[in-house]
A and B are shown apart, each in its own frame.
Chain A
Amino acid sequence: MTAALVVGLLVASGVFLLLRRGLLRVVLGFVLLGHAVNVLLVSAGGMQRRGVPLLGEAEADVAADPLPQAFVLTAVVITFGITVYMLALARAGDPGATTGEPAPGEDADRGGEAADLDQRTEGGPS
């Protein structure tokens, strides 16, 4: 029940934030949604089994299901990556954010943008 409640309230909070206009709030809402889904996945591993999925530490019949855990572990890291990307977007989307250099959205000159891309690809991980 606790898990279900946590999922429900996290989702509600996340959705409420997600539907707001400010991009930062959207990111916050996204993170909360991610949390909710992670709890849901882990909970789906079953209620009765709470043992540590390390061989030799817990009996096989009480050890928690490792598969949802593996899923959630990757989900946690991916959520982090996407969160960071969204934050970078929020930062880049703010016209005042990049002083001295034009923000990507402002770069009206398409030719210039294409040149940018070229440079970016050429620059590569040097």
Chain B
Amino acid sequence: MGLLLLLHLLAAVGAPLLVRWWGRQAFLALALVPAAAFGWVLTRLGTVVGGGEVRETLSWIPALDLQIALRLDALALTFAALVTGVGALVLVYCARYFEPDEEGVGRFAAVMTAFAGSMLGLVLADDVLVLYVFWELTTVFSFLLIGGSGAKLAGRRAASQALLLTTAGGLAMLVGLLMISGVSDSRLLSEIVADPGSGPVMVAGTMLVLAGAVTKSAMVPFHFWLPAAMEAPTPVSAYLHAAAMVKAGIYLVARLAPGLADVPGWRPVVLGLGVATMLIGGWRSLRQNDLKLLLAFSTVSQLGFLITMVGAGSQELAAAGLAMTIAHALSKSTLFLSVGVIDHATGVRDLRLLSGLGRRMPVLAVIATLAAASLVGLPPFLGFVGKEAAFTALWDGGLPDRVSAVVVLVGLVLGSVFTAAYCARYLWGAFARKPGLPDSAPEELEHHPGPLFLAAPAVLALAGLAAGPASPLLDHLVVVYAETLPLIAPEAEHLALWHGLQPALALSAVTLLGGAALFALRSQFTRLQHRLAVGASADEGYWNTLQSLDRLAVLVTGTTQRGSLPTYLGTILVVVLLVPGTVLLARTPWPDQWRAWDSPLQALVGAIVLIAAVLTVRIKQRLSAVLALGITGYGLALLFVLHGAPDLALTQFLVETLSLVVFVLVLRKLPKDIGARHRPAERTVRAAIAVCVGLVMAGAGAAALGARTATPVSVAIPELALEEGHGQNVVNVILVDIRAWDTLGELSVLVVAATGVASLVFLRRRTGAVDRASEEEASGGGDARRAPKAQWLSASGTLAPQRRSVVLEVATRFLFHTIVVFSLFLLFSGHNDPGGGFAGGLVAGLALVLRYLAGGRYELGEAAPVAPGLLLGGGLVFAGGTGVVALLLGGAVLESAYLEADLPVLGHASLPTALFFDIGVYLIVVGLILDILRSLGAEQDRQEDEEDPIDAAPDEVIVR
């Protein structure tokens, strides 16, 4: 069974290609797939009729205990045969329905095949979650099929309407299924039905599941999506909206009825909605002039009929319902396909405009008449058998409650009268010659339907005809399912063409005569309908609801999204106060003992950090505020040292230095005004929020200090670091080995940040060209009194003379290589000592900063004549590559290996592969800093030079 589903999937994926190769003939090939499934299903007939079933379980997500449980029993077999058989025929029909060179056929073919597969999966699924997945898949594919290419507004509206309604129902169903399976203690439908739970949760779950079934099968009050969905091409209407998707609700009700029919509320809902739908659908159908819409409302009506029977929860009605389901699928598909042929041939679907087609297309007329006869319930068609059985069962009291049986029977008979009437109207509208209308002339027949085009409806109609006399055979299959339900009437009625002279036969006669009378009096009846028409419709209600929802969304967005950053942040912070703050007050285990400080030094450094933080807030001058911020950062580095975190301290120290540089680089361009225009009240609120959040976080900090009661997860890490990572610097081993995935993610963040910075500055491209010294004459001349005599740096000569500094250039000349060597030392020693790729990269970045500050943008170009993107990308490849290599070597991703050897002269040498990961880190950090220097530094200089090449005043570079 899984193989069949896979086959459908493959066919769907390959369908566009097949269509490109073979044009519309590809549908014939695609039809083979459901046909094969149909054949397979039939081969299992013997097993199933004998009371057996076919099960298959495929592992899906073992960790979540999810499996694809498939099961073929009598009910599933009936539906599967319908779905695959009709599917194959509709695909054959498609091979002639589309024009040879029509647009979008490949897409249509793919979606149609995929739909056939998911529908098959739906009826085969035994696990409720698998059922749900297939259920929603059919919804999605139906959306795609109704919407078509999305070019037509009506199509888009209909598609979104169908999608919204059926997914809403589907979601309710998911919740319901979970509730039911929770109460029943099983996720398998077969087990739930065999032993359902009870109680209020069960009732609520059942109602939710019914909501899914009701929306899917277009029951009142959600019936309106089905007529709207007639925007879809006719094969879609014939398959999805007659035989397959709308039957999913019927299937689900039929599947659950044996176990859940006695759940309180089931029968009132199912029977009430079913009868109401049958009557409303029939009534509306009689008002339609578009043949397709007529059929759509007729389908709504019939679905009500079917759900009433299969949902009644009695053996005899279920058997009748199953037979009727088959009959309806066969005849309704035929009728839809016939409309497609008519539409194709004449381009008209309005029954007021068609005339005399019966003579033009006699074969089609015969086919459609056969199908309609089955739908109406004329002997000897299958429809007659099913309807007869239903009437008999109700007459004999096929419901626990006698009164409701009578009411339902009356409703069904009345609905059947409508059925007879609109079927007559359909045949008359499509094929009869109407007085006052010209015959549809031969030349109006744009396409004369070929034999292949008529094959599908013909086969379906003949099947309906043949199944009637053969119903005793069908009975064998139907009974297997029906016997899972209790027998309510005195004795079970078997499906047969002739039961003798019975009340049901009289009822059938009543429906036929009533229908004939309605048809004969159709003009009077139409006037009556007009008089009774109500102003409101469910469809309008739907659109009004959607519109008010839209308005509400606009209102909510408009009121909450004011575009003020302080408001947003304030909201977040107040929530922080309210939620974690309350928890903190109420539930925190406060430490038993309070220790003022670990060491006096810590207290001193803490005080410095605090003073600097306050200064950062108080100082109005920007540069001074930034410097005060720097002091907090350096103080933090000291605190880290005192906490026993040398790596952290090193990194913090380097980062703080770089931050200062970046701040100063950016401050050049920021306006002097820092916007201190705040009202006093605002200021008070801000201060209050700030103090409160500070208190909460201080409390959290105090609690965190004492919260270590359980054994930490990191207890085993040092040992792991030595044995697996072969490093003595535990922090570094965590970064490059134990939690290398985290680091890889972090590196990606850095790359994104660097790219973001560059793209904000370089508006036209990712980065500018590298400024090389050769491109620019040394500006020289002028007031060069600060320039050194010798050339100490590569390109400092290009710097404006006023900006040069002998001391800085000479010092840079001597320090640059030394710093780079130091950075490499940090990189290589990081595995065992403080350092590592981050620290090393930051140090190398600082060397570049020095070159830029001393020599300007051309010097930077000379120092690092590569695009930062290359370093960033290269670093990411390096780090990621280590993981891939580990995978190739048979380890887990990013697992580090260890090479060691005793070399002559050099002694013992060891090389952990994590080093390569660290090199990637190093490259990325250098790339980040280079990117910052190039965009916020060099590019800014360039823009300034262009703007004012003559007097770039160095003394005013840093303005407060």
Contacts and interface: CB of A to CB of B under 8 A. Distances in A.
| Bound together | yes
A90 B463 CA distance: 74
Contacts of B702: 1, 4
A9 to B, nearest CB: 5
Contacts of B594: 1
Interface string B228-240: 0000000000000
Contact of A104 (B636, B644, B763, B870): B763
B867 A126 contact: yes
Interface of B: 565-566, 569-570, 573, 594-598, 602-603, 606, 609-610, 613-614, 616-617, 622, 625-626, 629, 632-633, 636, 639-640, 642-648, 651-652, 655, 658-659, 662-663, 666-667, 669-671, 673-678, 686-687, 689-691, 693-695, 697-702, 704-708, 712-714, 717-718, 721-722, 728-731, 734-735, 739, 742-743, 746, 749-750, 753-754, 756-757, 759-767, 832-834, 838, 867-870, 872-873, 925, 928, 932, 935-936, 943, 946-947
A97 B670 contact: yes
Most buried by A among B689, B700, B730: B730
Contact of A12 (B606, B632, B694, B753): B694
Contacts of B763: 98, 101-102, 104, 116
A116 B582 CA distance: 49
A77 B746 contact: yes
6 closest A-B pairs (Cβ-Cβ)? A125-B869, A8-B698, A12-B694, A123-B765, A81-B753, A4-B701
Contacts of B669: 91, 94, 97
A77 B756 CA distance: 16
Contact of A43 (B573, B704, B714): B704
Given A78-B749, A81-B754, 5 more contacts: A42-B648, A67-B712, A87-B662, A90-B670, A120-B766
A79 to B, nearest CB: 8
B867 A125 contact: yes
Contact of A11 (B652, B667, B694): B694
B599 to A, nearest CB: 9
A32 B632 contact: yes
Interface of A is mostly: helix
Contacts of A50: 598, 642-644
B479 to A, nearest CB: 66
Nearest to B594: A1
B718 A16 contact: no
A71 B551 CA distance: 45
B632 A83 contact: no
A83 B753 CA distance: 9
Interface of B is mostly: helix
B735 A70 contact: yes
B619 to A, nearest CB: 10
Contacts of A11: 690, 693-694, 697-698
Contacts of B676: 22
A54 B633 CA distance: 24
Most buried by A among B602, B670, B722, B728: B670
Contacts of A123: 764-767
A77 B838 contact: yes
A120 B735 contact: no
A115 to B, nearest CB: 9
Interface of A: 1-13, 15-22, 24-26, 28, 31-32, 35-36, 38-40, 42-47, 49-56, 58, 60, 63-67, 69-70, 72-74, 76-85, 87-92, 94, 96-102, 104, 116, 119-121, 123-126
A77 B764 contact: no
B931 to A, nearest CB: 9
Contacts of B947: 99-100
Given A8-B694, A53-B731, A98-B763, A66 B714 contact: yes
Given A6-B639, A104-B763, A58 B644 contact: yes
Contact of A90 (B640, B666, B707, B766): B666
A45 B655 CA distance: 22
Nearest to A70: B734
A118 B570 CA distance: 37
Given A5-B606, A16-B687, A54-B729, A74 B735 contact: yes
B731 A44 contact: no
B690 A15 contact: yes
Given A20-B675, A35-B632, A44 B704 contact: yes
B40 to A, nearest CB: 50
11 contacts: A6-B701, A18-B569, A19-B689, A22-B676, A53-B729, A70-B734, A76-B655, A81-B749, A88-B936, A120-B759, A126-B766
A66 B731 contact: yes
B626 A28 contact: yes
Most buried by B among A25, A53, A63: A53
A1 B597 contact: yes
Contacts of B721: 55, 66
A43 B761 contact: no
A50 to B, nearest CB: 4
A19 B686 contact: yes
A31 B613 CA distance: 11
Contacts of A70: 731, 734-735, 739
Contacts of B708: 44-47
